[in-house]
Amino acid sequence: MSQQQYTYPVSVTGELTEPPARGWWLIKWLLAIPHYIILAFLWIAFVVVTIIAFFAILFTAKYPRGLFDFNLGVLRWTWRVGFYSYQALGTDRYPPFTLESVDYPAELEIEYPERLSQGLVLVKWWLLAIPHYIIVAFFQGSGGERGGAGLVFILAIFAAVALLFTGRYPKDIFKLVVGMNRWSYRVAAYAALMTDQYPPFRFWD
């Protein structure tokens, strides 16, 4: 019996630059500051757009395409900056200042849903997503005054130290780091009402 491969509508990919510079990662926090400032405002807009989309889905079962594309762009931009900086440290190519899809080693795409459940919109972003929120907090860090660094950051720094001394980014760590980010961004897209398909509990496609 043939087995049909399941494809989740949120695709998160990252291609390791060979080789990343050994010590460049030490100052990427400084180089990424312009992106962090812009993303702070974009994420405020992201939340507002998601609230508007909530009511649109509730009454029409549709996510307005312009709003969808904007939020997709914010997630895409965030992933590129994270891949460049401390969510992966996977490339030395500076992220572009754009919401659009461009040629870059990190990419995020979401299939546009023609219809969304008017019932699920009431519960999926909080109740149904709770198990994933717990896991993602472990991956990305809990934040807050006492929140520690997440496993993604710790592994990326460990790989960067290995790179500093050996000139090689451990491939298994890279694959795991991208997998954790893939999981996290899929949960973010689900919580932002951009798909009704429940995120899979797995790292890989």
Tens-level pLDDT at each residue, the chain (205 residues):
334 456 899 999 999 987 778 888 999 999 999 999 999 999 999 999 999 999 999 999 999 999 999 999 999 999 999 999 999 999 999 999 999 999 999 999 999 999 999 999 999 999 999 999 999 999 998 654 445 689 999 999 999 999 999 989 999 999 999 999 999 999 999 999 999 999 999 998 7
Tell me the residue range of the domain where 182 lies: 13-191
Phi, psi of 116 (to 5 degrees): -130, 155
> What 3 state SS string does the chain have?
CCCCCCCCCEEEEECCCCCCCCCHHHHHHHHCHHHHHHHHHHHHHHHHHHHHHHHHHHHHCCCCHHHHHHHHHHHHHHHHHHHHCCCCCCCCCCCCCCCCCCCCCEEEEECCCCCCCCCHHHCHHHHHCHHHHHHHHHHHCCCCCCCCCCHHHHHHHHHHHHHHHHCCCCHHHHHHHHHHHHHHHHHHHHHCCCCCCCCCCCCCC
Is residue 169 one of the residues assigned to a domain? yes
Is residue 136 one of the residues assigned to a domain? yes
Is residue 7 one of the residues assigned to a domain? no
Number of domains in the chain: 1
Is residue 202 one of the residues assigned to a domain? no
- Position 149 scores a pLDDT of 85
Is residue 203 one of the residues assigned to a domain? no
Give residue-wise pLDDT tens across range 16-31: 987 778 888 999 999 9
Is residue 5 one of the residues assigned to a domain? no
Is residue 198 one of the residues assigned to a domain? no
Is residue 75 one of the residues assigned to a domain? yes
